[in-house]
Amino acid sequence: MKNRKTVYVALTADSIHHGHMKIIEKAREYGDIIIGLLTDQAVAEYKRLPYLNFQQRKKILINFKGVKKVIAQNEWDYSKNVNKLKPDFLVHGDDWKTGHMSIIRKKVLKILKKNGGKLIEIPHTKGISSSALVQNQHAISITPDIRRGILKRLIESKKICRYLEAHNPISAIIAENTYVQKNGKKVGFDGFWSSSLTDSTMMGKPDNESVEISQRLLGVNQIFDVTSKPLIFDADTGGKIEHFEMKIKSIERLGVSSVIIEDKTGLKKNSLLENTTNQTQEDKRKFAEKIMAGKKAQASDEFMIIARIESFILGKSLKDALDRAHTYVEAGADGIMIHSKSTNPKEIFKFSKLFRKNYENIPLVSVPSSYNQVREKELIENGFNIVIYANHMLRASYPAMKKVALKILKNGRSKEADKDLFTIKNILDLIPGTNH
């Protein structure tokens, strides 16, 4: 029996639509289909983490008529797979003739020519956007279980996970939908940070754990009503061990991915205050007991408890920070946040270098509020997995509101403030489903 021709098709396939079907049907005309399915890592490098993980997407595709094999495509670039497999044909939509994909197209054409293969292009299906379909899918069908598990998938898939503070639904909508294009990649925020500082400030209260957890979780639930990305919750000290266990159950049930608790004791005060001499750090063994109690209380494997180390904040040594990190990881902490109020990242980089010698795979979290000149590239190079921009949305909103208030008072009307404002249409367009 004569060997059938092989046809290579590269897909993300996070949301199957009739455009994908057209490509597969066309490919079937030329031979046996090998699908190069982009891994979660490959997709996340260029756009949002896929709604379905690699294995889920593979199970769907392998059942399509004509598909003989589904293999991993580990890069956005098809070249390696095409060169290795040497397919007789490659089938693709013609939408990659322009934009950043045109570079990949040229490389593929060169490889096909060298190996005697042929490119088959079919007209792009107009009116279909996979990204838009997936975004809509997220908006209407995200469940607490799915949302909760995204953080771990992000850590596995991305060099660094980017989290932005969100203190209300509007700030979360902005964080969810703000993107820039960098080197052909769609860059955005991966999730939200629920900060005790911004939550208490929004209510006109001091940042000392005086805001009830139930009030804060109400705000989180409101954010979850209109978004789909995961959230990390700032749980301050976590409170008493007995109370922390109950907090974990409530937070996890809502769909929060992780809590971060800090190893201070007594009346909680903000770590970035100039005077920290009257702040005290919890005994590391006692704090470890709190971590163990929290881990015992959680119900799912996806939920994470991250220990925040305050040693540098309180003027203690690198050794103290590392000893605490070891104790907390051995107690079951799923990650470590090392905090610093230094204006440069030297001490946290010293910590991460030594920490990584013993713990290669434990996630590290950076909150560069004081050392804000550091770039994400440097954090990656120094072993960090998550960066949290912890209070910037609230800090941006207050100067803007104060400026407008002053202009109205000064001029006795609002016209002069118009240039500082969104139009009513802008506001209406921001909120999906608003009729105007």
Q: Which residues are catalytic?
A: 207
Q: What Å distances lie between residue 199 and 208, 211, 214, 240, 313, CA to CA?
A: 11, 8, 12, 21, 22
Question: Which single residue is written with the structure tokens 């249409």?
Answer: 425
Annotate 331-350 with b (16+ C-beta within 10 A) or e (fewer): bbbbbbbbbbbeeebebbbb
Task: At 244, list the tokens.
Answer: 């922390």
Measured between alpha carbons, how far is 398 from 332 in angstroms, rounded to an integer? 39
* Type of residue numbered 435: N
Work out whether strand 258-262 and strand 304-309 pair parallel, antiparallel, or are unpaired: parallel
Query: Is the Cβ–Cβ distance between 246 and 272 less than 8 Å?
Result: no
Query: Is the Cβ–Cβ distance between 151 and 304 less than 8 Å?
Result: yes
Annotate 150-179 with b (16+ C-beta within 10 A) or e (fewer): bbbbbbebbebbbbbbbbbbbbbbebbeee
Question: Which single residue is written with the structure tokens 């009729």?
Answer: 435
Q: Is 176 left (phi over 0), alpha (psi -120 to 50) or beta?
A: alpha
Q: Who contacts 429 (Cβ-Cβ below 8 Å, separation ≥6)?
A: 436
Measured between alpha carbons, how far is 429 from 218 in angstroms, rounded to an integer? 25
